[in-house]
Chain A
Amino acid sequence: MNQWAFVIAAYAVTFAGTGGLVAWALAGMRRAEAQAERLRDPR
């Protein structure tokens, strides 16, 4: 049994999960803040 295959799989799952979460959170935040800025009362 090649132990490195399990090590690489564990790191790949972790980086894919956290990377995907960062991308989702960052995109959602930027979209919401941009929309809030567009709707800002000009007065």
Chain B
Amino acid sequence: MHRFANPARFLKIARPATGWLLAIGVVLIAIGAAGGLFVTPPDYLQGETARILYIHVPTAWLGMGGWSAIAIASLAQIVWRHPLAGVAARATAPVGAMFTFLCLATGSIWGRPTWGTWWEWDGRLTSMLILLFLYFGYIALSAAERERGPDGRVSAIFGLVGAVNIPIIHFSVQWWNTLHQAESIELTGTTIAPELLWPLPFTLFGFSALFGALVLMRMRTELAQTRIEARLKRAVAE
């Protein structure tokens, strides 16, 4: 991992990867969304609203995946002092926050015709809302800390502590038997019929590629800003 600790080496890989990930993401999302909206049949019970699952599930996974990435980067920052770990964590936060917000918004839109309510203080929804607030806290804390210096240890600790919420979100549907249904997709199999399931891998990998492209864009932005600050300081000193 330390092979990529050099920003110049990292940028050599990140520059072409950004465009590729963005293009792959857009194509896969377009295929998955078109299939989910126009090709798959309506669900026998939920009707047309089941089509929301093709965007709701990827945003939920990536909202949780984003914080998992922050936690791993925070660990790399604290334990190995990897110079790009803090940059990666800070770059992931706004992207993860947006996907968490989209998960809550699409879930709420799905809930109105299916459950008869926009919102319910159920275990899954509440723990997901807490994740969104954790993202907001992390963004504010890391921005304030970056102004004071490059260390970022407090936000790294916050990133690790906040990861406690991820298993709570995952197991919430088992611990609290409320409105949100149990997992439909597990490692061992799925309860979704194949004719309804096939667009989901397209949107899942598509949004994941888009997520990766967005994180790389934010990392490149922060590295460029660091270069700008260093060059301005050098110009003032001369």
Contact = CB atoms under 8 A, between A and B. Distances in A.
Interface of A: 1, 3-4, 6-7, 9-11, 13-14, 17-18, 21-22, 25-26, 28-29, 32-33, 35-36, 39-41
A33 B15 CA distance: 11
Interface string B183-217: 00000000000000000000000010010011001
Interface of B: 22, 33, 37, 47-49, 51-52, 55-56, 59, 94-95, 98, 101-102, 105-106, 109-110, 112-113, 207, 210, 213-214, 217-218, 220-221, 224-225, 227-228, 231-232, 234-235
A25 B224 contact: no
A24 B17 CA distance: 18
Q: Quick one: which of B51, B110, B232 has the most chain A CB within 10 A?
A: B51
A36 to B, nearest CB: 4
Contacts of A39: 227-228, 231-232, 235
A14 B102 contact: yes
A7 to B, nearest CB: 5
Nearest to A3: B48
A3 B113 contact: yes
A6 B56 CA distance: 13
Given A13-B109, A17-B98, A39-B231, 10 more contacts: A3-B48, A7-B52, A13-B102, A14-B102, A17-B105, A21-B94, A25-B221, A28-B218, A29-B220, A32-B228
